[in-house]
C-alpha cells in the first residue's frame, strides 16, 4: 500500500478470527502484498514498520480514517544543504525532519548522517519513535531527522552541515515542541553544534537537544543508555527463558555506540562475546573476545580484523556463529529471509532499528528464537534522553547511578507490560509491543479530541 492510501471500510475490522496467523494474513491482504518467505523481495525500513503497524491496527480494529491519522506524519520538512567540502566542490545534501505524532508530548527522535538517508527511511524511523516512546511510557511523541551525507567527513565539514541543518529546521524545533538527539554517525559533539546554533537565535537552550557533552548539561549515562537498556531487557527475560546471564555467549553485529556498550555491559555480567563485526569486517573466538579491550583498540584507530586473539571471518557468516544471544546493532534489514535460517541463537535483542524483516521474523519463530524487538529493546536511549531533557529544564543534574537505576526501572516495567500482553493474546513480543504503543497513542489522541 502506498503512503496515505486508505483501505476500504469493508476490509477494516471485518475479520473475526484474531489468531496471529489470521491477523498477519489479513494485514498482508490489506497492504496488497506482504513480504513473504522465499519471494526474494528486499524490504525497506518503511515496509517493515508499516507491516507491524498494520498487524496491530488489524488486531485493534482501527477504522480506515483513524489508520491514516496514525500512520501518516503530521509534518515533513525537507531542506537543501549546500556545503563546500575539502575536494573544492560544493556538494548539495538533502536534510529531513519528520514529525510523526505528538499526541503524547513533544516530538522526540534522533538525527543521522548517512549517505543512504532518504525521506522514506526517516518516515519509518519517525513512526517507530512514536510507538517506542509510548511503549517506554515517556511523555514524548515521535520524530526523526537525517542528512544524506557521508559520516566520515572532516570535523569542520560535519560542523558546517550540522549548523546549516539546524539553521534550516529550527522553526519547527523547540524544547516543548521537538527535541533532536544523536543517531547513526552523530554524537555528543554534533549535538553541541546543534544546540549552539539554536542558541544564536533563541538564547542558551540546553533542552533543545539531548545526548550533549557533559560540559554542556548532558546527562551522565546517556552515551551508554541504548546498549544498557538492551542488557536490562535481556536480564529481565533471562529467568523466563532458563538462561543465566553469567553463562551466556553472545554475538554483536555492529560494534558502534550501541553494540560496544551492550557488549561491555554484558561482559560485566560474566557473559562471553564469541563474535563481533563492524563496517570493516568480522572476527570470531570461541574462547571469547574482550569487549573493553576491543573498544580501546578500535578507539585508538585499530581495525577490527587485526585484533589479536580472534580469527577473521566473512561478515555474512556472523549470523551462523552459535551463541545464546545475538545483538544486531547495525542498520535495518540485516537479518532477512536470505540468512535467518542460518542463525544459531536462542535470543535476539534488537539494538538497531528494524534489523529483522517480517520474512525473517516468521523463519525465526519457526526456529523458536525469542526476539526482544527494537521498539522496546533499544528504547534506553530515548528514556535517558527524557531524563536529560527533564534535568535541562530544571538546570539540575542527577548522578550516573541515579540515571542508571531509573533507566532500569523504566525498562523492566516496559518488558513486563509487553510480555504480559503477549501472554494474554498468544502473540510474540513485537506484536504485543506495537499493540501497547499504538493503544497509548490512540488513547492520548482521543482524550485530546483529535479523533
CA atoms of 395 and 389, how far apart (whole Å): 10
Query: Rounded to the nearest 5°, which phi and psi values hold at 151?
Result: -90, -5
Count Cβ atoms below 10 Å from residue 20 Cβ, excluding itself.
15
CA atoms of 98 and 93, how far apart (whole Å): 16
Is 84 one of the annotated active-site residues of the chain? no
* Adjacent-strand bridge partners of 335: 356
What are the grid coordinates assigned to 227, written together?
Answer: 546498549
Question: Own/partner pairs for 5-13, CB < 8 Å, 24+ apart?
Answer: 6/64, 6/65, 6/67, 6/68, 7/64, 7/67, 8/64, 9/63, 9/64, 11/64, 12/61, 12/62, 12/63, 12/64, 12/67, 13/58, 13/61, 13/62, 13/63
Name residue, grid cell 569486517. Answer: 281
Q: In what order do the strands lie in the sheet with 90-101?
A: 75-84, 90-101, 142-147, 107-113, 178-182
CA atoms of 254 and 268, how far apart (whole Å): 19
How are beta strands 272-278 and 311-313 bridged, if at all? unpaired
Residue 286: exposed, middle, or buried by beta-carbon count in 10 A (0-12, 13-18, 19+)? Answer: middle
DSSP assignment letter at 234: H
In the set 108, 132, 144, 346, the catalytic residue is: 144
Give me the active site residues, please: 144
Amino acid at each position: 500500500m502506498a503512503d496515505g492510501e486508505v483501505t476500504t471500510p469493508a476490509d477494516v475490522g471485518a475479520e473475526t478470527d484474531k489468531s496471529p496467523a489470521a491477523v498477519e494474513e489479513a494485514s498482508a491482504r490489506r497492504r496488497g502484498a506482504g513480504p513473504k518467505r522465499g519471494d526474494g523481495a528486499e524490504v525497506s525500513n518503511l515496509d517493515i514498520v508499516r507491516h507491524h503497524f498494520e498487524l496491530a491496527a488489524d488486531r485493534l480494529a482501527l477504522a480506515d480514517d483513524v489508520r491514516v491519522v496514525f500512520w501518516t506524519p503530521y509534518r515533513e520538512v525537507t531542506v537543501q544543504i549546500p556545503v563546500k567540502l575539502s575536494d573544492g566542490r560544493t556538494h548539495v545534501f538533502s536534510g529531513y525532519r519528520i514529525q510523526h505524532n505528538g499526541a503524547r508530548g513533544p516530538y522526540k527522535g534522533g538525527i543521522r548522517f548517512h549517505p543512504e538517508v532518504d525521506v522514506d527511511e526517516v518516515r519509518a524511523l519517525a513512526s517507530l519513535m512514536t510507538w517506542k516512546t509510548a511503549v517506554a511510557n515517556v511523555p514524548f511523541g515521535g520524530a526523526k531527522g537525517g542528512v544524506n551525507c557521508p559520516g566520515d567527513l572532516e570535523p569542520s565539514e560535519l560542523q558546517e552541515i550540522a549548523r546549516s541543518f539546524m539553521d534550516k529546521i529550527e522553526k519547527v524545533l523547540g524544547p516543548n515542541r521537538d527535541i533532536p538527539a544523536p543517531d547513526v554517525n552523530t554524537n555528543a559533539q554534533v549535538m553541541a553544534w546543534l544546540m549552539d546554533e539554536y542558541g544564536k537565535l533563541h538564547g542558551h537552550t540546553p533542552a533543545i537537544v539531548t545526548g550533549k557533552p557533559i560540559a554542556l548539561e548532558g546527562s551522565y549515562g546517556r552515551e551508554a543508555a541504548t546498549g544498557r537498556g538492551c542488557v536490562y531487557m535481556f536480564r529481565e527475560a533471562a529467568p523466563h527463558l532458563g538462561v543465566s546471564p553469567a553463562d551466556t555467549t553472545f554475538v554483536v553485529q555492529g560494534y558502534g555506540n550501541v553494540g560496544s556498550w551492550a557488549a561491555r555491559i554484558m561482559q560485566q555480567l560474566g557473559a562471553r562475546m564469541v563474535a563481533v563485526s563492524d563496517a570493516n569486517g568480522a572476527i570470531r573466538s570461541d574462547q571469547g573476545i574482550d569487549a573493553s579491550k576491543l573498544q580501546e583498540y578500535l578507539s585508538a584507530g585499530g581495525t577490527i580484523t587485526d585484533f589479536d586473539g580472534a580469527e577473521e571471518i566473512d561478515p555474512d557468516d556472523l549470523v551462523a556463529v552459535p551463541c545464546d544471544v545475538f545483538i544486531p546493532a547495525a542498520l535495518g534489514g540485516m537479518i532477512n529471509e536470505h540468512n535467518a535460517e542460518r542463525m544459531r541463537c536462542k535470543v535476539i535483542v534488537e539494538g538497531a532499528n528494524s534489523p529483522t524483516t517480517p520474512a525473517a521474523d516468521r523463519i525465526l519463530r519457526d526456529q523458536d528464537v525469542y526476539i526482544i524487538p527494537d521498539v522496546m529493546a533499544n528504547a534506553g536511549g530515548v528514556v535517558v534522553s527524557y531524563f536529560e531533557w527533564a534535568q535541562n529544564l530544571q538546570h539540575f543534574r542527577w548522578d550516573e547511578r541515579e540515571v542508571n537505576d531509573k533507566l532500569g526501572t523504566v525498562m523492566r516495567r516496559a518488558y513486563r507490560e509487553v510480555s504480559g500482553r503477549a501472554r494474554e493474546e498468544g502473540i510474540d513480543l513485537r506484536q504485543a509491543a506495537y499493540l501497547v504503543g499504538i493503544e497509548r497513542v490512540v488513547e492520548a489522541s482521543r482524550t485530546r479530541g483529535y479523533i
